[in-house]
Amino acid sequence: MEFEGAVAVITGAASGIGRSTALALAKLGTDIVVADIDDIRMTEVRHKIENLGRRVLTVHCDVSQDADLKNLAAQTISTFGRVDILMNSAGVTVEGDVEKISMADWEWILNINLLGVIHGVHAFLPIMLESGSGYIINTSSLGGLLPDWGSSLLEAKTIPYITSKFGVFGFSESLYIYLRPKGIMVSVLCPGGVSTNFQLNVRHVADDSQQIVETETPGDIYGGIIKPDDVAQIIIKAMEEKSFLILTHPGSRERLMERGRYLLNL
């Protein structure tokens, strides 16, 4: 993967893993399109990228809205004339007992976490197919591979999140099979515990949800909470190696093999 002179579009790039990846790619010579709904944080990221000497475009973008992604693609091509990397990083969660979760909350999380990824691919894939090259990174989760997260309490309280992230993983694997012969690489990122502001995007539907998530996290089980800057370096290494599955915590690999044996014995 050649990063120098490439153009990367990153949704959810105003904070967390998206922000760290945008800055890491800019340091490698990539021009960046920063897409998010947080205009204030986007401005801060834009200044940092400009200070690194790279071109940058910021676009207010709600990934749940297909029109916003089409506008993002149009502005990207108008400004840079190309797109080489698409990273779908925006995400939210709903926590609580599944029987108490409203359909409005189900639609909210699926529209952002799953359809947001699909909207991004739908908008940018025709451009990549026309050029015969490109790299797509979709953000799933450790919870998109291991529904119990190593904790039955987390599994019970995060069913909508797990559902959306399993969907992202299946979509990404299917895309990988379909697109690799066409010259387009697909990776799926499945992070464990990462120190971001993700909890600001949580809807709680039960009084005890926040307490459970704060006291038990996948990072506690699979190797601690890591920094988004560390995740960005893991992503870049995976892109260089063209790895489909990007795991951030060493313990998750062993747990994934255990899950395979578990499924075969159900």
- Nearest one of 224, 145, 135 to 187, comparing CA atoms: 135
Q: What's phi and psi for 19, nearest 5 deg?
A: -65, -50
Q: What's phi and psi for 117, nearest 5 deg?
A: -65, -45
Residues recognised as catalytic: 161
Report helix, strand and coil shares of the chain as percent, to nearest 5: 55, 15, 25
Q: Are 83 and 57 in contact, with CB atoms under 8 Å apart?
A: no
Structure token pair of residue 11: 């949704």
- Nearest one of 196, 246, 249 to 219, comparing CA atoms: 249
Give the torsion through C-alpha atoms of 70, 71, 77, 78, to 10 deg. Answer: 150
Dihedral over Cα of 131, 134, 139, 144: its sign: positive
* DSSP H or E segment with residue 24: helix 16-27
* DSSP H or E segment with residue 253: helix 250-264
Give one word for 16, left, alpha or beta, with left for phi > 0 and alpha for psi -120 to 50: left
How far apart CA 134 and CA 137 sit, in angstroms, is 10
